């Protein structure tokens, strides 16, 4: 396949098909709707299933069932729909089931929801946040690989811009090595064997199983698994101009695409600014942020909310460097979370203001 100009929503859908996704379920809500439309067309072409679920509750339930059979499965929504899915996302994490969840956000107000484990109990899941369509094609496929590798839900964060920007991309399959064996998957064949399988968030073992664990032990194992993911999942990050920067701007997703461009222009004008763009929002690229921010002495966070990712930036820097919010909440009239703050001139001004703010040495 060669590169073709297409909208992000189609590119994401084609990338999921390339990754082997064969079950998709969704309930319309812009800008997730656009991906659902493409999946409804593409799934039958490859022998897969696309379900028009009666609500987001059932969409994630259907994906839960499909994933339990070992099928690569995905759903998604917008923040509100994802709020409805949180109970299931928590349980899927506790049942160690690999699913991919598209979070086609309206703006960036749902960072906490995505990265904190918005449901009950102790869990986290991997969160990937592309800044453009080309990267989205890769990360949508990586999401399925990581979900299988770690037996966990993986969230893919996009937004209205990502769904609608057109770029020339080639959503061909990316190979991440041998796919993980799914000996836990259900197909009915172990029924009647005396060792019939159980896929459960409560405990994954049946009575009389020599490895039987109770619910408390099961949850402790989930905690260990989260720690293993935190240590073992490679944090992805893009940095630019940080070596001699006096101010590092941290941003993710579409906002970072603007910041990247604004920082490049400011560099052309001679300002000592750089940027760090977390691509994995969980695990957060703590090391890269701490290194770049610590060296610069000043950090600004541009995000389209009232200050959410800034908590992770501050945790990374452990109070060593002042961290200033330079984003904010503003919406146009569309209702799709498009922020008037996404303006290179305006962002450049906010960055320069932060550059001139008192630094560590002077506070």
Partner 1 sequence: MSGLPAIPSDRPPDRPARMTDDFVPSLILRGEHDLCPGCGEPIAIRSAVEMLDELGLTARSIAVVGIGCYTAFSSTLDVEVLQALHGRAPSLATGVKRARPDTVVVTVQGDGDMVNEGLQEILHAAARSESFTAVLLNNGVFGETGGHMTAATVIGQRTKNTLDGRDPAAHGYPIVVADLLSCLEGATYVARGAVNSAGNVARTRRMLHRALEVQAAGGGFSFVEILTMCPTGWFVDTTEAPDYLGDTLATTYRIGVLKDTAAGHG
Buried b vs exposed e over 159-179: b needs ≥16 C-beta within 10 Å? bbbbbbbebebebeebeeeee
Task: At 174, give phi and psi (nearest 5°).
Answer: -105, 135
Cβ proximity of 314 and 323 under 8 Å: yes
- Per-residue contact track with partner 1, 4 to 33, x per CB under 8 A? ------------------xx-x--------
Q: Which of residues 84 and 357 has its CB atom nearest to partner 1 in the complex?
A: 84
State the binding string over 201-220 for partner 1 (x if CB under 8 A, else -). xxx-xxxx------------
Q: How far is the CB of 68 from partner 1 (least distance, A)?
A: 5
Structure tokens belonging to residue 198: 């159980």
Choices 58-66, 252-260, 278-286, 336-344; region in contact with partner 1 by CB under 8 A: 58-66
For 284, the token pair is 């957060």
Among 33, 37, 40, 65, binds partner 1 (CB under 8 A): 65
Quote the least distance from Cβ 55 to partner 1, whole Å: 7
Q: Which two tokens stand for residue 211?
A: 């490895």
98: enclosing H helix or E strand: none
Asked if 47 is part of the footprint of partner 1 (rule: CB under 8 A), the reply reads no
The β-bridge relationship of strands 166-169 and 4-7 is: antiparallel
- Nearest residue (CB) to partner 1, 218 versus 225: 218
The CB-side HSE value for 249 (13 A sphere, CA atoms) comes to 34
- Asked if 241 and 263 count as a contact pair (C-beta separation under 8 A), the reply is yes
Judged by CB under 8 A, the stretch of 53-61, 122-130, 137-145, 155-163 that binds partner 1 is: 53-61
Query: Which of 45, 175, 183, 194 contacts partner 1 by CB under 8 A?
Result: 194
Binding footprint of partner 1 on the chain (CB under 8 A): 22-23, 25, 49, 51, 53-55, 57-69, 71, 73, 87-88, 91, 95, 186-194, 196-203, 205-208
């Amino acid at each position: 396949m060669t590169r073709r100009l297409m909208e992000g929503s189609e590119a994401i859908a084609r990338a999921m098909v390339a990754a082997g996704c064969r079950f998709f379920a969704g309930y319309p809500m812009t800008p997730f709707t656009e991906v659902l439309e493409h999946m409804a067309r593409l799934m039958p072409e490859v022998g897969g299933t696309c379900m028009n679920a009666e609500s987001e509750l059932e969409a994630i339930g259907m994906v839960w069932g499909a994933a339990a059979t070992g099928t690569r499965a995905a759903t998604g929504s917008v923040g509100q729909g994802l709020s409805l899915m949180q109970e299931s996302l928590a349980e899927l994490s506790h049942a160690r089931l690999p699913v991919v969840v598209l979070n086609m956000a309206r703006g960036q107000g749902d960072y906490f929801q995505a990265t904190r484990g918005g449901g009950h109990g102790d869990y986290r899941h991997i969160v990937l946040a592309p800044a453009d369509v080309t990267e989205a094609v890769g990360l949508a496929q990586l999401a399925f690989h990581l979900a299988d590798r770690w037996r966990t839900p993986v969230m893919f964060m996009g937004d209205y811009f990502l769904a609608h920007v057109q770029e020339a991309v080639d959503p061909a399959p990316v190979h991440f090595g041998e796919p993980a064996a799914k000996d836990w998957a259900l197909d009915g064949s172990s029924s009647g064997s005396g060792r019939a399988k159980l896929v459960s968030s409560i405990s994954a073992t049946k009575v009389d199983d020599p490895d039987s664990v109770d619910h408390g032990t099961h949850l402790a194992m989930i905690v260990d698994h989260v720690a293993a993911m935190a240590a073992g999942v490679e944090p992805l990050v893009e940095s630019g101009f940080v070596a001699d920067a006096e101010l590092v701007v941290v941003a993710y997703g579409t906002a970072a695409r603007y910041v990247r461009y604004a920082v490049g222009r400011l560099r052309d004008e001679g300002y000592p600014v750089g940027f760090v763009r977390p691509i994995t929002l969980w695990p957060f690229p703590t090391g890269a942020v701490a290194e770049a921010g610590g060296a610069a002495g000043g950090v600004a966070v541009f995000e389209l909310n009232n200050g959410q990712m800034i908590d992770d930036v501050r945790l990374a820097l452990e109070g060593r460097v002042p961290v200033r919010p330079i984003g904010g909440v503003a919406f146009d009239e569309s209702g799709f979370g498009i922020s008037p703050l996404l303006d290179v001139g305006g962002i450049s001004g906010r960055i320069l203001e932060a550059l001139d703010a008192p630094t560590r040495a002077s506070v």
